Amino acid sequence: MCMDGVLTINKPAGMTSHDVVLSVRRILKEKKIGHTGTLDPMATGVLVLCIGKATRIARYLEAGEKEYSAVMRLGVTTDTLDAEGRILETVSYASPAPSDILRIMQGFTGVIMQRPPVFSALKVNGVPSYKLAREGKAEPLQERSVTISRLELTSYVDPLVSFNVTCSKGTYIRTLSADIGAALGMGAHLTALVRTRSGRFSLDQARNLDVLSDPGHAGAAAQALTPIDAALGDFPVVQVGEADAIRIRNGNRIPSKEQGGIAEGALVRIHDPAHGLLAVAVMTGGNLAPEVVFPG
C-alpha cells in the first residue's frame, strides 16, 4: 500500500518515538516513515508521523509550536529530571502557596535560556547524550534559547503541581519542571506529560496504535491521513501558470507577483495550474525559490 501524508498518533506510555515508527511501518507495510519531534517513553499524546513523500516536509512540521499538559512533583530531584530516573535528593520543605508557584512560573515565560537534560537524544560528537549519561561520561549540554508563550497552573495538591505549556520547538518540559522546582527552593521532577498539540495537529485528531492494527478497522490509517497540502495549511498559497510551473519543476526560482503580501523569508505553498501542490518555496529577494518540489 503506497501512502503519502501525515498521520497523528496518540503515543502510549512506555514506547519510544522510534518504537511507534517501527510499529506503524509494520502495520502499513511502508518503510518511508519518520516522526517530527521526539516524545520521551514516559510521555503520551501527539506524535506526528510523515509517511511516504510527506517525509520531505518533516522539518516544516517539526518547527511548529507545541502544547503540553504536565505534572511535576515538588521536593524530589532525579538524574533524568523525570519519574523514571534515579532519585538524587529528597528535600523537606514548607508547602508553597499557589501564588508563590504562579509568581515563579511567570519568570519562565517569554524567551528564556534552557539547558537540555543530559538524558536526551541530543548528540555530542555523534553520540546521543543519554548513552554518555548512562556511562557516567555526560557533560552539561549548552544552554539554548526557547520560547514559552503560555504557562498555566491548572491544579496544585502538594506535592503535585499540574500545568499547561505552550512553547517553541526544542523546549524540554523536564528541564522546565526542574528549573521551577529549583527556583522554588525545593527541587522537582516531572511525573506525567501529555503532548496535546504539535503545530496544527491536536490530540483529538490522533489515532491509537491498536485501532490502526485492528483488522476490524481496515482503512483506518488511510482515513486518518492528512494530505501533504493540508498538512502545510498554515503556509499561504501562490497559484502559478504553466510557464512558472515548469520553472519550479526544474528547481528554478520565479519572480513573485505578490511581493507586497509575502514577507522576506516566508514559506509558501506553490500550486500548479490544476491547483495541486507543486512545491514549498521561500521568498527571497522578491523571488520564490523552491525548497521542496513535488513533480506529481
**40 noted as active-site residue:** yes
Cα separation of 73 and 251, whole Å?
A: 53
Cα separation of 38 and 73, whole Å?
A: 23
Whether the Cβ atoms of residue 78 and residue 86 lie closer than 8 Å to each other: yes
With residue 173 as reference, give the H or E element that holds it: helix 173-184
Cα separation of 265 and 243, whole Å?
A: 24
Whether the Cβ atoms of residue 243 and residue 256 lie closer than 8 Å to each other: no
| Catalytic member of 4, 40, 158, 204 | 40
Gap between the terminal Cα atoms of the chain: 18
Whether the Cβ atoms of residue 195 and residue 10 lie closer than 8 Å to each other: no
Please give the positions annotated as active site: 40
